[in-house]
Amino acid sequence: MLGLEMVVLLGVALVVCGALARRYPIAPAILLVLVGVLVGFVPRLRHAQLPPEVVLLLFLPALLYWESLTTSLREIRKNLRVVVLTSTVLVVATAGAVAAVAHALGMPWGPAWVLGAALAPTDATAVGVLARDLPRRTVTVLRAESLVNDGTALVLYGLAVGVTVGEEHLTPLHVSWLLVLAYGGGVLAGGLVGLLSWQVRRRMDDPMLESIAMLVTPFAAFLLADAIDASGVLAVVSCGLFMSQVTPRITGAATRQLVLPFWSLSTTVLSSALFVLIGLSAQSALRGLSSTSLREALVDTLAVTAVVIGVRWAWTYTTPYLIRLVDRRPAQRLRRVGARQRTVSATAGFRGAVSLAAVLAVPHTLDSGAPFPERDLIVLVACGVIVLSLLQALLLPAIVRFARLPADNSVAEETQLAELSTLDAAIDAIDDTAAELGVGAPVVDRVRHELGKQRALVAASGEDGDPVVRHDDQYTSLSLALIGRRREALLVLRDEQQIDDIVLRRVQARLDIEEVRFSREIATD
């Protein structure tokens, strides 16, 4: 019954923490970590731990795939230099700085590098909570960095663990080969699985089967890369970015209506479960500490946290100026970001799922049979750093206000452009399409009138207080209210046994489609 108790507890935590986050300016991730810490005080529940391979093989592929599908590839291309530098050089710099400080505090070099590599990557799931409050470019760079830097960090982590346990021998040629295999093999594996998934899904006409194929895709990419010792993280990311470009041409409306709510719900549950697991692991690591005193462990945690945060701030306020000395092209000058605005990126260096999975996966023994040096301290420090880095989310509202970020209207402008262009294309094609389908003149006039009215509303959407827009809002509100009346009348017919439950569900589904359509129009205004 322990598993069922944890499922119920997680569900209650999701609802309560989500409600509190809406009422108070606190990130849900912080509340969920606190729930995990509190769960650790319950003797029956404190042993509910997930194996590290479950986090790597079950949670990460799904979360990373969804983040890749919903990230702008165009913005990644525009900011490719920044993404590459932060996901490689910054990761190595962070891992090295953490290893140096941990060694200075008494940890052997091998375990120190294990700790540094585990804490080097930022977390894509935690960064995703910022999307609503930041300009598109900032969010895209943060997401892309957190999606790619996992591959670099896990290569360093594998080397550090292998050298410490005695399985690996550190040579420049060997390290170079592992990096090439991780990046090249990961991208190729992801591309291959993406191609196969594309070819399979484009031949499907069953939304349910296509949804299952989509669900399997990220796990297949991860496993294929893992089978050749490449980066499963990069395989999932490259596969997701590829599928984001081809799926709009092969996926129908029925499939999108099915898969989008499913992925949104499932990734929310998975990411929330990970934050609870972080809190539970931190509490468990604190109770299991034996290699050093609690006071020294807390000092180590604070010192490493300061290094992780400090390196990111130092990087944010040094590399842009160095790049400006090298690249002085006018096009690059237009893309420069001010010092105030960079505070947001500096603060958003959250750690999360990959760091947790990495430290929990540290082996307990060396090849010689001896215990892995200071493994309990590594786990405790890593969990502490994850929790403290997430606390930066409390400062984000103030940081965003301080940054004075410029208004980003690009999404709204491009949305209006897309809607006007598609409506114009439809209006231009009315006569030819009607002739092909044999549609009568009254229907053509009705459709032309509706499309023209919709185009006028879209064209006027940028004008505040426009009477046409007010008319559209009133039309939507009235339509929603009348749908409610229709639903009440439908229930009365069922209760009076004039219609069957099957008929009720069929008509209710049609009403639901109309309600969702009108509700989305209100949400996008």
DSSP string, 169-213: ---HHHHHHHHHIIIIIHHHHHHHHHHHHHHHHTT---HHHHHHH
Most confident of 87-91, 190-194, 392-396, 436-440: 190-194
Label residue 26 exposed, middle or buried (CB < 10 Å: 0-12, 13-18, 19+): middle
> Average pLDDT, stretch 423-450?
85
The class that CATH gives domain 2-408 is mainly alpha
Whether pLDDT at 162 is above 90: no
Sign of dihedral through CA atoms 402, 406, 407, 410?
negative
Tokens of 306: 């300061």
Tokens of 439: 């549609």
Query: What is the DSSP-derived secondary structure letter of residue 292?
Result: S
Query: What is the DSSP-derived secondary structure letter of residue 371?
Result: B
Whether pLDDT at 521 is above 60: no
Query: What was the pLDDT predicted at 239?
Result: 94
Whether pLDDT at 286 is above 50: yes
Average pLDDT over the chain, rounded to an integer: 82
Query: What was the pLDDT predicted at 420?
Result: 82
> Average pLDDT, stretch 118-143?
72
Question: CA–CA separation, 386 vs 191, rounded Å?
Answer: 32
Question: CA–CA separation, 452 vs 121, rounded Å?
Answer: 50
What confidence category does residue 465 fall into, taking pLDDT thresholds of 50, 70 and 90?
very low
What confidence category does residue 14 fall into, taking pLDDT thresholds of 50, 70 and 90?
confident
Question: How far apart are the two ends of the chain, measured CA to CA in Å?
Answer: 46
Label residue 126 exposed, middle or buried (CB < 10 Å: 0-12, 13-18, 19+): buried
SS (H, E, C) 82-121: HHHHHHHHHHHHHHHHHHHHHHHCCCCHHHHHHHHHHHCC
Using a cut of 0.85, tell me whether the model's pTM lies above it: no
Q: What is the pLDDT of residues 204-256, one digit of tens each?
A: 888 889 889 999 999 999 999 989 988 888 899 899 999 988 888 888 777 88
Residue with tokens 């009108």: 518
Q: What is the pLDDT of residues 174-197, one digit of tens each?
A: 777 877 888 889 999 999 999 999
Q: What is the pLDDT of residues 80-104, one digit of tens each?
A: 888 888 888 999 999 999 999 999 9
Whether pLDDT at 435 is above 90: no
* Cα–Cα nearest to 525, from 467, 444, 458, 479: 458
Exposure string for 133-167, b = 16+ CB within 10 A, e = fewer: ebbebbbbbbbbbbbbbbbbbbbbbbbbbbbbbee
Cα-atom radius of gyration of the chain, to the nearest Å? 26
Return the percent helix, strand and coil in the chain, to nearest 5: 80, 0, 20
> Average pLDDT, stretch 352-381?
84
SS3 509: helix
- For residue 64, the Cα-to-chain-centroid distance in whole angstroms is 6
Query: What was the pLDDT predicted at 413?
Result: 76
Q: Where in the chain is the domain with CATH 1.20.1530.20?
A: 2-408
Which has more confidence, 179 or 346?
Answer: 346
Question: CA–CA separation, 381 vs 303, rounded Å?
Answer: 10
Residue with tokens 């502490």: 384
Q: What is the pLDDT of residues 39-50, one digit of tens each?
A: 888 777 776 666
